[in-house]
Amino acid sequence: MKLAIIGVGLIGGSVALKLRAAGVVEQVFGVDANTEHLEAAARNGIIDKYGSLQHALEETDLILLAIPVDATTKLLPQVLDLVQEHQIVMDVGSTKAGIAASVKNHPNRAQYVAFHPMWGTENSGPDSATADSFAGRSAVICDATDSSSHALETAEFVAQALGMNVLHMDAASHDIHAAYISHISHITSYALANTVLEKEREEDRIFQLASSGFSSTVRLAKSHPEMWVPIFRENKENVLDVLNEHISQLRKFKSALEKENWELLEELIRSANRIRGILK
């Protein structure tokens, strides 16, 4: 199989490395607006060659869009305009409803699979890519009935080659769940980082005193706005819903402290401890 990666950053680069290592792909063609990314990807053995989108589509069987979700929404219809009958298109966006809607009535919609590998870090770029990123993680395929059997088989084969567990759901449900377990975590991390930076003016003290708990909580705050602003924009309503609940929970903790209601504080913590039975 010959693979085109549109966006040779962390996710696209990691997919390419793993599929190459697994012997699934024999050639990887890179497309990226950032020439430094392309040069780094070639240097790191992620891609074999790079060039224009048109050139990539002439040479490959599987096209993977690994770019921000707003860019995917704009580019995906153009890619489907150009694909040949044998080619399959997948994306790795963290939101799915808007992307799926952009090609809902496209004549080549069946050649596209809405795909989300549930993995990522605060890092970006091809230098951060690693082959074993996805092992044991979930790969979500959305709106499967809108894709052809060949396209679905290809997507599931790719997921298995990445070492992932395949889940099926509709795009709207995916975006709701993603808001709960991913998007709110990033907003919380950004907010906590801003809180500490505002209150703790001595940056050296942050470095000296930061515990592993603090570091892990604010790790996501290192994630780049170029990726996350489009995600929040695309999934605004779901993010607002969970953010309102999160603010309500923070107010409960605030009230318990203000009123010195230690029994309520203990109840809130014990309630949160139920997550142990879910995330082991």
CATH number, domain containing residue 267 = 1.10.3660.10
pLDDT digits (tens, 9 = 90+) for 63-121: 999 999 999 999 999 999 999 999 999 999 999 999 999 999 999 999 999 999 998 77
Give ∠ CA 51-55-58 in degrees, rounded to 5.
Answer: 150
* Burial class of residue 121 (count of CB atoms within 10 Å of its CB; 0-12, 13-18, 19+): middle
Structure tokens at 104: 């809902």
Q: Are residues 152 and 207 in the same domain?
A: no
Q: Are residues 142 and 204 in the same domain?
A: no
Structural contact between residues 142 and 96, judged by C-beta atoms closer than 8 angstroms: yes
pTM: 0.88
Q: Are residues 179 and 165 in the same domain?
A: no
Q: pLDDT-derived band of residue 200, with 50, 70 and 90 as boundaries?
A: low
- Counted domains in the chain: 2
Q: Are residues 94 and 43 in the same domain?
A: yes
| Mean pLDDT score, 243-251 | 96
Q: Are residues 210 and 245 in the same domain?
A: yes
Q: Are residues 159 and 190 in the same domain?
A: no
CATH number, domain containing residue 124 = 3.40.50.720
Pick from 255, 236, 259: nearest CA to 247: 255
Q: Are residues 161 and 227 in the same domain?
A: no
Residue with the two structure tokens 């074999």: 48
| Mean pLDDT score, 162-168 | 96
Domain boundary among 120, 142, 169: 169
Q: Are residues 132 and 263 in the same domain?
A: no
Domain boundary among 126, 150, 169: 169
Q: Which of 92-96, 108-112, 196-200, 233-237 has the lowest mean pLDDT?
A: 196-200
Q: Are residues 143 and 15 in the same domain?
A: yes
What is the spatial distance between Cα 235 and Cα 224, in angstroms, rounded to a whole number? Answer: 17
Domain coverage including residue 196: 174-278
Residue 113 neighbours by CB under 8 Å, 6+ apart: 88, 89, 90, 141, 144, 147, 151, 152, 154, 155
Q: Are residues 41 and 85 in the same domain?
A: yes
Position 208 pLDDT exceeds 70: no
Burial 18-43 (b: 16+ CB within 10 A, else e): bbbeeebbeebbbbbeeeebbbbbbe
Domain boundary among 126, 145, 169: 169
Q: Are residues 62 and 145 in the same domain?
A: yes
